[in-house]
Chains A and B, each alone.
Chain A
Amino acid sequence: MALNYYLLLAAFLFCTGIYGVLARKNAVLVLMSIELMLNAVNINLIAFSAFNRSVSGAVFALFVITIAAAEVGVGLAIVLLIYRNEHTADLDEVDELKG
């Protein structure tokens, strides 16, 4: 199996995630797009782990999964706090720091 198949699939998922981060208004949807990007990195790590016959790639993929879980927990807590204070999860309306 060509290594490129995996890398191109991961690149596609990463770019889709970038589009989601840039184009979405809802904060929860932006976090979902970040998950797409982290998942693309995992596919790359596993593909290179299989290509190089090295277990380190799998271990790093596990670390990435753990960090993603921590990131979603803290991110959703922040979104919840914003929603409680501003009564919206819409990122275009959260502009308190704008001069």
Chain B
Amino acid sequence: MVVQQIAFWIIAIAMALAAIGVVRSQNVVHSALYLVVVLAGAAAQFILVASEFVAWVQVLIYIGAIVILFLFGIMLTRAPMRSTESLDNSQRWAAAVVSLFLFGVLAALLIDAYGDKEIKLNDSLVAIGNTNVVGTEMFRNYLVPFEVVSLLLLAALIGAVVIARRD
């Protein structure tokens, strides 16, 4: 129990610092690499609550596919690598105020609503996170949404090819 708490806080602090790095770094490639740390940290947090299947999908899809897409996007748009000009616009102080205010409101609400709730770490938690259970649930109760999402993915793929085609 204590070991999980220590692991949670180490990973959470790393994720928070890397998330600030994503939005504050003045080098676009560094931002993408900080994003990898945040996504890997999220996968580690999923493992801490025994959602192993989602954790590995997170590693495969987010770190394996989406970050690579970002790196291609950075390369193809020739984003500024040297910090000759700022990557932030003039409204960053207003943006900081908005996000801090939202965090304050969310934190107050969450502590008020879920302050005494505990995730119980025992064997019944392990029984709901494995691939067998997730697959059974998805192909039994969520089959139609699954097919709709696969159609959406196909449409997005064809749409991306059509938009980016050069002719």
Contacts and interface: CB of A to CB of B under 8 A. Distances in A.
Interface of A: 1-9, 11-20, 22-29, 31-33, 35-36, 39, 42-43, 46-47, 49-51, 53-56, 58-59, 61-63, 65-74, 76-81, 83-84, 89, 91-92
B65 interface: yes
Given A25-B88, A28-B79, A76-B72, A1 B119 contact: yes
Q: Interface majority SS on B: helix, strand, loop or mixed?
A: helix
Nearest to A81: B163
Give the residue among B4, B48, B66, B142 with the most A Cβ atoms within 10 A: B66
B144 interface: no
Interface string B40-63: 001001101111011001100110
Interface residues of B, number: 88
B23 to A, nearest CB: 4
B117 A8 contact: no
Given A16-B99, A81-B164, 17 more contacts: A3-B118, A5-B8, A5-B12, A12-B19, A17-B19, A22-B94, A36-B22, A36-B38, A58-B129, A62-B134, A63-B145, A68-B61, A68-B66, A74-B160, A76-B73, A77-B159, A77-B164
